[in-house]
Amino acid sequence: MKHLEIVLESLQDSQWHSLDEIAALFSLPEDKLKKIIRFLEEEEFISFDEGRERTKIKPLGLTFLQLPLEE
C-alpha cells in the first residue's frame, strides 16, 4: 500500500506528471511502477495518458488521500 500512497501523494497538486518524474521519487522498477499506475487507473484514482506516459490524480484519488489512517 505504501507505493500506492507515494504515487498518489506525488500527484496531489492535480497537474500532469510524467512517469519518469514519479519514478525519480522512489526507486522502483519501471514495470512495477506501470502496474501501480494501471491499478490506480482501473480504480479511477488517476487518469493515465499512455501516449505521453503521464498521469494526474482524479477527485476520487484526492478523497482517498484525505481518509484517516486506521491504526
User: Residues 12-48: pLDDT tens digits?
Assistant: 999 999 998 998 887 788 888 999 999 999 999 999 9
Q: Which CATH architecture has domain 2-66?
A: Orthogonal Bundle (1.10)
Q: What is the pLDDT of residue 1?
A: 60
Q: Assess contact for 5 and 40: CB atoms under 8 A.
A: no
Cell reading at 5:
500512497
Read off the pTM: 0.84
Tell whether the model's pLDDT for residue 71 goes beyond 70.
no
Q: Assess contact for 46 and 57: CB atoms under 8 A.
A: yes
**Residue 2 pLDDT class (50, 70, 90 cuts):** confident
